């Protein structure tokens, strides 16, 4: 079975500052990793994904994440945040196989960007 831990439930940051949202996963098999964003009263939108290849993944809205197999981490970063980045962010994993497309989500990190 897979599990995901998002290490921070809330992250406050000032506009134009860098931010890192931390995600660790646990799995006995190879996993594939995703970051989703949820704006208030909306569904989830994919920010980026890691399936294979380069461990540094670039996504939409200037976000990027680095897959670290030895540390079992997939932290999300942005060098300079905007007010519009205020939202809840979810890290998710899938192992495929008999789990097919099942996504296991972390508990979410609420990012609040202050002016």
What is the x/- site pattern for other proteins, positions 30-49, by CB under 8 A?
--x-x-x-----xxxxx--x
- Taking the C-alpha atoms of residue 115 and residue 44, their distance in angstroms, rounded to an integer, is 25
Cβ distance to other proteins smaller for residue 17 or 46: 46
Q: Which of 55/80 has CB closer to other proteins?
A: 55
Name 42's Cβ contacts closer than 8 Å, sequence gap at least 6.
Answer: none
Asked if residue 99 binds other proteins (CB under 8 A), the reply is yes
**In what helix (H) or strand (E) does residue 93 lie, and over which residues does it extend?**
strand 87-94
Q: CA angle at residue 10 from 9 to 14, to 5 degrees?
A: 155
The stretch among 14-22, 54-62, 63-71, 102-110 that binds other proteins (CB under 8 A) is 102-110
39/94 Cα distance (integer angstroms)? 23
Binding region for other proteins (CB under 8 A)? 32, 34, 36, 42-46, 49, 51, 90, 94, 96-108
């Amino acid at each position: 079975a897979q599990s995901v831990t998002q290490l921070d439930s809330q992250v406050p940051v000032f506009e134009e500052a860098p931010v890192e949202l931390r995600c660790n996963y646990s799995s006995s098999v190879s996993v594939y990793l995703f970051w989703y964003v949820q704006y208030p009263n909306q569904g989830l939108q994919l920010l980026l994904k890691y399936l294979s290849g380069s461990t540094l993944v670039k996504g939409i809205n200037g976000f990027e994440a680095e897959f670290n197999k030895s540390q079992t981490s997939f932290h999300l970063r942005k060098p300079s945040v905007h007010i519009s980045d205020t939202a809840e962010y979810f890290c998710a994993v899938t192992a495929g196989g008999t789990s097919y497309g099942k996504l296991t989500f972390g508990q979410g990190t609420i990012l609040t960007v202050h002016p």
